[in-house]
A and B are shown apart, each in its own frame.
Chain A
Amino acid sequence: MTETPALKPGRTEVWITGIGLATSLGEGLDANWAALSEKRINVDEKGFAPYIVHPLMPVSFDSQIPKKGDQRQMEAWQRIGTYAAGLALDSAGIKGNKDILSKIDMVVAAGGGERDINVDSGILTAEAKGANAPGFLNERLMSDLRPTLFLAQLSNLLAGNIAIVHGLGGTSRTFMGEEVAGADAARIALARIASGESDIALVGGSHNGERKDLLVLYEFGDFNLKDKFAPVWARKGHPGFALGSAGAFLVLESKAHAEARGAKPFAKLSSVVADLAKRKQPGDMSATLEKLWAKLPKREGKGAIITGATGAEPATSEERDFLKNHADFPVRSTGTVFGHALETQFPLGIALAALSISRGALFPPNDSTGTEIEMQGAPTQIVVVGAGHWRGEGMALVEAV
């Protein structure tokens, strides 16, 4: 099992010193926190009916991506991410700080492949109407594809756009692979800082859930939530996930680096672990989650769990079995509130864990099944769980400093 070993004496403590959120609830920490506290959920049941999505609360991209030319070179998922990354840098107080930005290490979890659905349907329609010359597809693609669309399709161009717009000049790595890519991005960034390979990193992802091409991909596996919204835990007879638009970025920093510049932590990121359950037999996935749980440093404080459970089956039932073994931990589902944002869900979970710790309260439950219970007092340890709808399991421990 690959893991970030628990902190040992001499290992560097890693702090979360910046958080950037742009979601279906709004932009920034206050707007998201207020919506969570008021149990607000933003779903669109009509625009993609019968499918349900959590649309991005409109933001003024200009404030983080001032050049229109830059905005035009991106598709929505990259604009959301570049925007959220800027908010995280602002939150950490390093926006425009050339000394730090020239060395910051970026680990981004990304999908990609945003299609021009008009081009696709135009070609399919023409072919259905008899266009069958051997070069038809080539000719249409040559004339219809925008050259810049390719750059919006490349997974690593989210990181590329962040570097260009915010002037980042350190290193840049993009991890793919759906949900667990978000956990692996945090895992590698943490390991690099904890071992002294890196001082400071920007970690996160972004997702545009308002895409019919993505709905098609998940519809292949009947994973989309249809017709009626329900909290993740109440979808058993009506399983599926509602795609969500979200960008979530974190600034991770060694304690020494943060202290030297007087930065205050939201929380510390103590451990991130991940694995790939075989998921061949019932119980495989919950057993893997249990193994990951055992690998986290000891939990002696006031704990809670924030999970990215999707609502898709059988993964969500497997996770529920795992959670039953830890029923004394209050649980919150980001999938209920924000929808499913794939690669972004895990960084979003870490962000909300750090925010809850820094605000001295876990946000209230939003669930009709009793899976989520009230929590009194301030959490000091929050476990973030991220199990993929199909493959991959990740877990993190976020703690009060």
Chain B
Amino acid sequence: MTAPRDKLGRPVVVVTGMGIMTSLGAGKSDNWAKLVAGESGIRTITRFPIDGLKTTMAGTVDFVSVDPFSSTALSERMAELVTQEALEQAGIGAKADFPGPLFLAVAPVEVEWPQRRELGRAVGQQDITYDDLLRISGGGKFSAYHHRFMFGSVAAHLAETFGTKGSPISLSTACASGATSIQLGVEAIRRGETDAALCVATDGTVNPEALVRFSLLSALSTQNDPPQAASRPFSKNRDGFVMAEGAGALVLESYEAATARGAKILGVIAGCGELTDSFHRTRSSPDGKPIIGCMNKTLADAGMTPDQIDHINAHGTATPENDKMEFNTTSAVFGELAQKIPVTSNKSMVGHTISAAGAVEAIFSLLTLEHQRIPPTINYDNPDPTILFDVVGNKARDARVTAVMSNSFGFGGQNASLILTREPA
């Protein structure tokens, strides 16, 4: 039997419930089956016209409908569904009475084009300025849009629906947001503030303007045909990431509280780490030091050494810069082991779920531990000869996996890593 405290004397934090949704489908079983089968969720966008766009595919979640549609409403609905799944599995608390705080990773919120156009039509003239929009915005006709486009609206809705305790935190650390939501939950439990935390990450922002914004930064793949082959992590012909939607929810508990109530333990969050890169708004420091430091901090937080990590769930966005940087930094931390530890990028199949990615990939890492099977990195036909990872290419691989490092790196110098294990170290 394992001790309820880790090597540093802090409560061990375990996962007792998980819920997931990606472009592959809803729920853990469907996602896992398709993930190990090497299926892609990337498809040509049908939600809005693609004329004039350089990138015309994405990993959209089209099987969840919200009305009226907005990216924030979709994010909220996905978050609600994955939380339901996680809570059902955890069997914690009572209906609408979760015994702990909510940490929500969510994309920044703003008024979107369908609503802006509705305002434009309400102005009823041909020349439209913001003063005109202002003139017709009040009076209660659009009061629902105030609530919808508050940054805190998704968290407030989840907190009310699931009865989480205290002030729910909405956070953004760009592409590392999902990992940060888990880290905040882990820290709250370790400090002894709570026995349980609900960590949710969601992103439903495949809309024209979001796509254009990433396009203008030359961050997206333009290999539109066939869309399933666009996301090519670690390949020589990778040319950018593929935007995607999804959500993940994890119920975290102290080991002590989970065992006391006889909960099934799905895995352990053994370590978390983060380190800011102050080099550039969208690029990593060329020496990779912040990412190296982030991985080292995470190992130290878990009280582990590189040889104890036997799988890396890579950030692996398939941008030319990220994948190379990830190999170089991983090599600096892991030495020759970097070429021996099996590495995979879930983004080859589900795309980059941005704010949700850290949580989505943590859940895939935990499922990897459960099934002792590593999902493949698809579209790996033309390996980049300078990236010497042992990429689990194209076909899933059975492997003995006891500890996974999951990495997330984001715009604004955000780096966060997690170490997930089957059992307490």
Contacts and interface: CB of A to CB of B under 8 A. Distances in A.
B166 A3 contact: yes
Nearest to A179: B152
B130 interface: yes
A178 B151 contact: yes
Interface stretch (B153-161, B252-260, B302-310): B153-161
Contacts of B128: 121, 124-125, 128
B110 A112 contact: yes
A153 B108 contact: yes
Interface string B164-185: 0111111111100000100010
A159 B412 contact: yes
Contacts of A187: 167
Nearest to B139: A222
B51 A135 contact: yes
A188 B188 CA distance: 9
Interface stretch (B11-19, B270-278, B326-334, B398-406): B270-278
Contacts of B169: 175, 177, 181, 184, 188
Contacts of B116: 120, 124
B216 A147 contact: yes
B213 A145 contact: yes
Contacts of B54: 142
Interface string B114-146: 001101110101111111011001111011111
A177 B159 CA distance: 13
Interface string A343-361: 0000000000000000000
A175 B216 contact: no
A175 B411 contact: no
Interface string A95-138: 00000000000100011110101001100110111000111111
Contacts, number: 269
B413 interface: yes
In the complex, which of the residues A110, A147, A187 has the most CB atoms of chain B within 10 Å of its own CB atom? A147
A117 B130 contact: yes
A172 B180 CA distance: 10
Nearest to A139: B52
B316 interface: no
A127 B134 contact: no
A286 B187 CA distance: 30
Contacts of A151: 281-282, 411
Contacts of A224: 138
B37 interface: no
B212 interface: yes
A18 B50 CA distance: 50
Given A113-B108, A113-B109, A154-B174, A223 B216 contact: no
Contacts of B147: 221, 390
A391 B275 CA distance: 31
B281 A73 contact: yes
Nearest to B141: A220
B68 interface: no
Chain A interface category by residue count: 35 or more
Interface string A127-169: 1110001111111011001110111011111011101100111
B126 A125 contact: yes
B49 A134 contact: yes
Given A127-B120, A170-B276, A174-B172, A115 B110 contact: yes
B176 to A, nearest CB: 9
Interface string B262-305: 00000000000011111111100000001000000000000000
A172 B414 CA distance: 7
A212 interface: yes
B171 A176 contact: yes
A218 B146 contact: yes
B375 interface: no
Contacts of B137: 216, 219-220
In the complex, which of the residues A120, A149, A176 has the most CB atoms of chain B within 10 Å of its own CB atom? A176
Contact of A156 (B119, B172, B209, B280): B172
Interface of B: 49-54, 101, 106, 108-111, 113, 116-117, 119-121, 123, 125-131, 133-134, 137-140, 142-147, 149-153, 155-156, 159-160, 165-174, 180, 184, 187-188, 191, 193-194, 208-209, 212-217, 274-282, 290, 410-414
7 contacts: A120-B116, A124-B117, A155-B172, A157-B281, A169-B276, A218-B146, A278-B160
Q: When A and B form their complex, which 9 residue pairs have the shortest distance between CB atoms, in order from nearest?
A: A135-B51, A160-B412, A2-B166, A177-B152, A221-B146, A274-B167, A113-B110, A134-B49, A135-B52
